[in-house]
Amino acid sequence: MNTSKLDNDKRIWRSTLVWSLVLLVLGVVLLVWIDSHPGFLKNTPKNWTDLIKAFIILVIGGLISTLIERRIFHLAAAKLGPQRSTTLRYLTRLLLFLTIVLSVMTAFGAGIPSVIFGGTFLTVILGLAGQTILSNIIGGFWLVFFRPFRIGDSIGIIAWQFPVLMPSFPHEAMRPMYFGRVLDINLMYTQIQNQDGYPQLIPNGIIAQSFIENRSQADVHRVRLRFDVPYDVEVTRFLPGLREQLEVEYPGSGNTTPEVGLADIYPTAYSVTVSVYSLEKEELVRDHVLSTCIELIQKIRVTTGNQEV
């Protein structure tokens, strides 16, 4: 089975290489043919021929990029692992992109030495410096090589480009963070899968400027809650009882012990803040703590009612 798979992988590599070379040779032949000005192209204005050559380069380059993307990159992922294959994919895409850009520029009459070393290159770089394309390419380079997260990590990002209304739970503001699992980092976008299962594409330049929270590397973290309790539930019984129960369920030491205290008072209720430390997801901890509070409130009310009787 392994031998068969290896043979199939080699066949894919060979066929991809052959087709890429065929497309490359075809492109070179077409460009040389156009430069010779045969037939009806003989009297064609130079601007038109330059445009035709640029179009041929874009088409051939796009076909080669698609061929490599679909037939090679998935093999690299299986052999190198997600992180190394992502670096390889990014560098390959960047190399193809630069090659196509330089080829298109030379098709319009700019020589390669002048493009790379002369004023033309500087003009292009300065012209693109403030543009989204270059920003995303540099952002992708930053993400691939500095690795604030890896492929498969669950991350959250806060970006000023994607504002949302600040919710409360029920009184305190929560960070407007977008969560998802990283699937890929390509030349322009980082692909993540959100918590609803939908793939999302976020520009690399935006992520490079964002606050990033990597939840795959989380250790013990704090979960904070705030809620109201009516005055018929005695505060002198509720706070110590809740603290004692949480210390049993979420034991800690030093600064990681559960914290329970008053946050505010209102005409009909008092506000309680709770902080616990856990390895579990925030939603699960929040659900358990609130369920514990409800049980304790009901128990205190039953006890108070029996005493009044």
Distance of CA 39 to the CA centre of its chain: 52
Q: To 5 degrees, how large is the angle CA 128–CA 188–CA 112? A: 45
- What distance in Å separates the CA atoms of residue 87 and residue 90, rounded to the nearest whole number? 5
CB atoms within 10 A of CB 272: 20
Predicted local confidence at residue 94, as pLDDT: 76
Whether residue 221 contacts residue 277, with contact meaning beta carbons closer than 8 Å, is answered with yes
Q: Are residues 112 and 6 in the same domain?
A: yes
Which of 75, 69, 127, 140 lies closest to 101 in space, CA to CA? Answer: 127
Predicted local confidence at residue 211, as pLDDT: 87
Length reported for the chain: 309
Q: Are residues 28 and 113 in the same domain?
A: yes
Q: Are residues 7 and 46 in the same domain?
A: yes
| Domain hosting residue 109, numbered range | 2-129
Predicted local confidence at residue 1, as pLDDT: 45
The 3-state DSSP class for residue 253 equals coil
Answer yes or no: is 135 within a domain: no
- Residues of the chain falling short of pLDDT 70: 1-9, 35, 37-48, 69-85, 105-131, 162-174, 218, 305-309
Q: Are residues 36 and 124 in the same domain?
A: yes
Q: Are residues 61 and 106 in the same domain?
A: yes
Predicted local confidence at residue 246, as pLDDT: 92
CB atoms within 10 A of CB 189: 19
Answer yes or no: is 145 within a domain: no
Answer yes or no: is 92 within a domain: yes
pTM: 0.57
Q: Are residues 26 and 82 in the same domain?
A: yes
